[in-house]
């Protein structure tokens, strides 16, 4: 078993699409900002690394369409190259290769020397856990079938920290005048990588990775309701529809933010099937 994966970049997807994933079900969606004609600045990716595990990623480029698109793609390319080395390594876990991938991505984007950057959120999928890594304001989120949040990364931004501290209401933060400011990214001399603790993933939990074009157009409570239950493909289409509805037409209460919007949704296979795979 080798490295199997796919990077979704360049031309936007017409709608959510299923992505091959042996450990469960995954859907991806990416669409550039409606008022731009250049390349999509967002990228999404999924890799399965032999029998070690799987990795999901979303990157949101910074610096204008051409350079932002290049930066986000370079970051995912660097991560993919590092994950490929896991197959030849003696370490039976993905964490060191993900860490190396961030460092190499940062060096590559800095090497462009044009002031570009990109957010990057990565989730490592183990046999019975997930772990998040991120730089920037793209988010990883795990919710249970009943809507309980099990994991939610804190966006590296003044508004993100304000919400996390309880000083800002999550719904009101969507229209905050500083919502687009970030304090950390790949492509920075002082990039800071935040690594989360492993979180158990139950069979009916839903994992979401999303860029700010999703998060700024769907209220947190609405987003949870859209993805927590029902068929995952239906949830992906409902979330994409909601983003487009608000971003391009507003809804009377939310001022649509015309950013690129990208997300990945994932649910694991049944617990018994995953345990069987581990013992095989």
Taking only the tens place, the pLDDT of each residue in 66-76 is 799 999 999 99
The mean pLDDT of 62-83, rounded to a whole number, is 91
Q: Which one, of 259, 227, 265, 266, lies nearest residue 244 by Cα? A: 259
pTM of the model as a whole:
0.91
Q: Which one, of 255, 248, 276, 230, lies nearest residue 27 by Cα? A: 230
Question: With bands split at pLDDT 50, 70 and 90, how would you rate the model's confidence at 51?
Answer: confident
The answer to whether residues 49 and 86 touch, using CB atoms and an 8 Å cutoff, is yes
Residue with tokens 């990945």: 264
pLDDT tens profile 154-210: 999 999 999 999 999 887 787 788 878 999 999 999 999 999 999 999 989 999 999
Helix residue spans in the chain (DSSP H): 65-85, 95-110, 158-165, 170-173, 212-215, 220-227, 232-249, 271-279
pLDDT tens profile 84-118: 999 887 777 899 999 999 999 999 999 999 999 99
Residue 43, pLDDT above cutoff 80: yes
Question: With bands split at pLDDT 50, 70 and 90, how would you rate the model's confidence at 276?
Answer: very low
pLDDT tens profile 196-242: 999 999 989 999 999 999 998 999 999 999 999 999 999 999 999 99
Q: Give CB contacts under 8 A, 24+ apart, made by 74-78.
A: 74/105, 74/108, 74/109, 74/112, 74/118, 75/43, 75/105, 75/108, 75/109, 75/118, 75/120, 75/186, 76/7, 76/9, 76/43, 76/45, 76/105, 76/120, 77/7, 77/108, 78/104, 78/105, 78/108
How confident is the model at residue 254, as a pLDDT?
63
Quote the mean pLDDT of the chain.
88
Please give the angle made by the CA atoms of 270, 263 and 245, to the nearest 5 degrees: 120
How confident is the model at residue 272, as a pLDDT?
37
Query: Tokens standing for 112?
Result: 């462009």
Q: What percent of the chain has pLDDT over 90?
A: 67
Question: With bands split at pLDDT 50, 70 and 90, how would you rate the model's confidence at 10?
Answer: low
Distance in angstroms (rounded) separating the CA atoms of residues 3 and 23: 14
The mean pLDDT of 44-51, rounded to a whole number, is 92
């Amino acid at each position: 078993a080798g490295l199997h994966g796919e990077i979704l970049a360049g031309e936007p997807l017409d709608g959510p699409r299923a992505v091959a994933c042996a450990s469960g079900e995954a859907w991806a969606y990416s669409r550039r900002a409606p008022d731009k004609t250049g390349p999509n600045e967002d990228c999404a990716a999924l890799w399965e690394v032999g029998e070690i595990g799987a990795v999901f990623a979303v990157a949101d480029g910074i610096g204008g369409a051409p350079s932002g698109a290049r930066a986000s793609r370079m970051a995912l390319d660097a991560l993919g190259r590092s994950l490929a080395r896991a197959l030849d390594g003696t370490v039976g876990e993905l964490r060191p290769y993900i860490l190396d991938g961030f460092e190499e991505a940062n060096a590559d984007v800095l090497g462009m020397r044009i002031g570009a950057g990109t957010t990057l959120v990565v989730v490592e999928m183990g046999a019975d856990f997930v772990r998040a890594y991120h730089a920037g304001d793209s988010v990883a989120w795990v919710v249970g079938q009943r809507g309980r949040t099990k994991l939610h990364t804190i966006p590296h931004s003044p508004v993100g920290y304000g919400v996390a501290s309880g000083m800002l209401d999550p719904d009101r933060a969507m229209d905050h005048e500083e919502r687009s400011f970030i304090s950390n990214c790949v492509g920075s001399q002082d990039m800071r990588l935040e690594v989360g603790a492993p979180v158990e993933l139950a069979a009916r939990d839903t994992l979401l990775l999303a860029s700010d074009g999703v998060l700024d157009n769907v209220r947190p409570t609405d987003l949870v309701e859209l993805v927590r239950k029902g068929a995952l493909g239906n949830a992906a289409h409902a979330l994409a529809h909601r983003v487009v509805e608000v971003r391009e037409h507003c809804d009377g209460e939310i001022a649509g933010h015309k950013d690129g919007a990208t997300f990945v949704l994932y649910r694991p296979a049944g617990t018994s099937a995953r345990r069987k795979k581990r013992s095989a």
